[in-house]
Chain A
Amino acid sequence: MTRLAIICLVLLAWLPVQADTNQPVATALLLNEKSAMTLTAGLEQYAHPPKFAGKFSSIGSGGTTFLMNHWAAEFARLYPDVEMDIHGGGPADGLPALLDGKVDLVPMSRPLPAEDIARFKKKFGYEPSQIVVAQDSIGVFVNKTNPLTGLTLTQLDAIFSSDAKRGGGRPEFWSDLGVTGPLADKMISRFCLVHAYGSPVYFREYVMQGSDYRFDVQLEPVPSSLVQAVGADDAGIGFASVMFATARTRFVPVQAGDGRYLLPSYENTLSGAYPLVRPLRIVFNRKPDGTMNPAAREFLRFAVSRRGQQLIALAGSYPLTTEQQQTALQVIGDAP
């Protein structure tokens, strides 16, 4: 009887592992052209004035600036006389510049911290405005040959942080994460973006509870390089926005609060069920009477429009819902 029970348990443990090794590559999770068009069909279209000139500048998070560049390319075709200075480099440069009045827009991949809001309010007498311009999730990437079936936040913390505050131990080999087969005895190669991007900052605050990264985490300058590093190294793991998915990587399902292991799909991102969801935002200075840089206002209106959302959906990001679009348009407001 005991033997029979053991056999049944082994079979139950083996079956899901077998099923999950056939998971699709990461690019299969992104929206295709048809889905992108369908999901944005209900959004309000951008009604642009026939001729417009002006200038605005932007400095902020690399990931959101990546989307800004998509909008800017199209916006420049609509308004050749609008001058745009759009730079990444991280919100650490952008927020002081916004306070100094040197920039009009600060793209961010996390909400504006309370202390920054307080500093802004102290200087201008009103709070900064911020709108959500795209949905996004941080995907945990592994090589497409990696059979890992899922990770908890505790395991993710243990993989990347120096002191594993969540108590996940210190995994060094893939077998420490339950992986069997040829990969089991290989050391885990950890990849992380430089801190000019919002995702490592978000990950440190939310997953690692403020801990520092391990000293052997390899820093990559841009997200495409990080995801490629994982695709070229069968023992690699890293995290970045889902929009940088490639055919040599796949997403690892992450355990949500209800115990389910979820992928960073559009549905799981929209519902907030996936644990590493982070809406991408733009912070800007809009006076209480509605006054703001007109070129920046037009740019924001274009960004949240149907055309703007289609552009980023085709580039791999997740578009806004109609409710989110309306909320954003209300915050932007019309010219006084």
Chain B
Amino acid sequence: MILVCLGCRTTGHVGQTPAEQRAERERASERAKSAGSFQASLASGKQQLSIPELDQLTYGYADRYYMVMSSAVDAVKRNNPDPTQRRLAHQIKLNGVLSMYDIVSGSDSYSETLDLVVSVTLESIVLIDENRAEQMFGDRAPGLIKAIRTMRVEAWELAAKVLNQDQLERLDYVILEWRRTHPEVNEVAFVKFDNFAGTRATGLLTELKAGGGFLAPLSEASQEMKDWRRLTERAFWYSKRAPNIAAIQAEGAVNEILSAPEISDMLQTADRLGKTAEAMPQTIATERHAIFSELDARQTLLTNSLGDLRNIMANADALGRTATLLTTNVQQTLLLLGDTLKMMDTVGQHFGFDKPPARPFDIQDYNATLAQFNLVLTNLQQLTLNADQVAQSEGWKRTVQSLTESADRRVDHAILGLCLVLGLAFILAIAYRFISLKMERRMASNKQEKP
């Protein structure tokens, strides 16, 4: 079915009605008869090939094509992670082999030869000359390029057994010209010589049948008799290769199905699900480990924090006790001082010191001063803490680093400048030495000249 469908795509003549095609064929036939006889008269005495010999050559070629192209395509597909590349490679093999077996098992040896050359040459133009193989397969392309090139060379060697140089040139021209006017066609394996109807190549086939090349012409009677035998041979030949073709088609069909967007989406979803299920135990273990690690880390942090808090409270308690003690002592001292002053006032009055009366001593003033002193100490402590935080911040570090680098650069510049100055001084010293030596020598020579 695939064979039929693919064949349908490329048959038919572009832009010509059947009547025009018939008229063109008739005109071409007339031209070809004269050209064929003319070329035959010019042809050298090259040995002519019989139809059965040509059949054997084309059978052999088709089998080699299958072998060479299969090897090259399988090499492209082997361990290839890209499904698109695998599918495209298989498509090349499928189309090429189907086309080749279709051609070789045809009924007309003359057409077969031309069809075979056309198909393989167009394939080689697309894959090699237009660089499609490299575009499609990248680093895997060289093997395929070599294979299709080999098959093109063999196809033209086969053609050269049938066609003379002029006919080969015309065949080359029509193939190139067809490709130039049909650059959009990618599946060229099924393009046949018949597709060139309406071009200047039309007469080529008629020439061949008229004995214009190196094929021995057959009389109608012998042709009729041999056709039956050849048809049987071809049917047998094709049937022996049918399993291969079926296998390639089946693989191609599977590739096609797998590359459909819906199947591709479904496979991707299944793949994701499978990967998720497969990774589940590992994910759970990882999560569990992460949770316990986090708990451990937090517990340590909490313990440390509590310890710090306990220390702080103990320190605060000690500080409070010290402060209380200090305040009590100061208060006691001040009370004693107050008593002492009161006693001195009494003594002064007793001895008649006539001084203006001063404000009596008040302990509250000193208490207030002490409270302010405590506040200042607290602010100073807070300031120290803030300074520590600033010193630990990234911005401060960057600033310090920038300043350091700037200082380094300045030092480097200074050293470089110093080196340059030293170098210059060294050069000047050498120059001075050199000039002085020169002058000494000149003066010495002058002295010798003027004794």
A residues at B contact (CB < 8 Å): 57, 59, 62, 65-66, 69-70, 72-73, 76, 80, 83-90, 93, 97, 102, 194, 196, 221-225, 227-229, 231-233, 246-248, 315
Contacts and interface: CB of A to CB of B under 8 A. Distances in A.
A222 B176 CA distance: 11
- Which residue of B145, B165, B168, B200 has the most chain A CB atoms within 10 A of its CB atom? B165
Contacts of B166: 59, 87-89, 196
Contact of B172 (A59, A222, A246): A222
B146 interface: yes
Contacts of A59: 42, 166
A247 B35 contact: no
The 4 closest A-B pairs by CB, nearest first: A88-B169, A89-B166, A246-B129, A222-B172
A85 B35 contact: yes
Given A224-B172, A228-B149, A73 B177 contact: yes
Given A66-B169, A87-B39, A232 B131 contact: no
B170 interface: yes
A59 B27 CA distance: 20
B156 A225 contact: yes
B169 A222 contact: yes
16 contacts: A57-B38, A62-B165, A66-B173, A69-B177, A69-B200, A72-B200, A87-B170, A88-B166, A221-B156, A222-B169, A222-B172, A224-B172, A227-B129, A231-B128, A247-B129, A248-B131
Interface residues of B, number: 36
A221 B134 CA distance: 26
Contact of B129 (A69, A97, A228): A228
A192 to B, nearest CB: 15
Given A72-B200, A247-B131, 8 more contacts: A57-B38, A66-B173, A73-B200, A89-B169, A221-B156, A232-B145, A246-B128, A248-B134
Given A85-B35, A228-B149, A246-B130, A221 B170 contact: no
A44 to B, nearest CB: 26
B145 A89 contact: no
Nearest to A315: B180
B169 A62 contact: yes
Nearest to A80: B27
B93 interface: no
B128 A228 contact: yes
B304 interface: no
A66 B173 CA distance: 6
B199 A73 contact: yes
B325 interface: no
B35 A194 contact: no
B124 interface: yes
A85 B172 contact: no
A125 to B, nearest CB: 27
B34 interface: yes
- Which residue of B39, B172, B199 has the most chain A CB atoms within 10 A of its CB atom? B172
B255 interface: no
Contact of A86 (B128, B130, B200): B200
B129 A225 contact: no
Contact of A222 (B42, B134, B168, B200): B168
A232 B168 contact: no
B27 to A, nearest CB: 8
B128 A93 contact: no
A55 to B, nearest CB: 9
A224 B93 CA distance: 23
B152 A228 contact: yes
B250 to A, nearest CB: 31
Contact of A89 (B153, B160, B164): B164
A248 B173 contact: no
Contacts of A232: 128, 145-146, 149
A334 B442 CA distance: 92
Nearest to B166: A89
A59 B38 CA distance: 11
A194 B130 CA distance: 24
Contact of A83 (B31, B165, B200): B31
A85 B149 contact: no
Given A65-B169, A89-B164, A225 B31 contact: no
A282 to B, nearest CB: 16
A87 B40 CA distance: 12
Nearest to B180: A315
A76 B168 contact: no
A93 B38 CA distance: 12
B323 to A, nearest CB: 78
Nearest to B159: A221
Nearest to A244: B176
Contacts of B125: 224, 228
A89 B130 contact: no
Nearest to A144: B131
Contacts of B165: 62, 88-90, 194, 196, 221
B128 A248 contact: yes
A30 to B, nearest CB: 12
Nearest to B179: A224
A231 B164 contact: no
A231 B165 CA distance: 23
Contact of A196 (B39, B152, B156, B169): B169
Contacts of B39: 87
Contacts of B168: 221-222
Contacts of A247: 129-131
Nearest to A62: B169
Interface string B116-157: 000001001100111100100000000001100100110010
Contact of B200 (A76, A80, A194, A229): A76
Contacts of A83: 31
A300 to B, nearest CB: 18
A97 to B, nearest CB: 8
Interface string B23-37: 000010001001100
Contact of A221 (B27, B160, B177): B160
A183 to B, nearest CB: 14
A152 B76 CA distance: 40
Nearest to B32: A85
B361 to A, nearest CB: 93
A222 B125 CA distance: 13
B177 to A, nearest CB: 7
B169 to A, nearest CB: 4
Contacts of B160: 221
Nearest to A222: B172
A93 B199 contact: no
A80 B26 CA distance: 13
Contacts of B177: 69-70, 73, 315
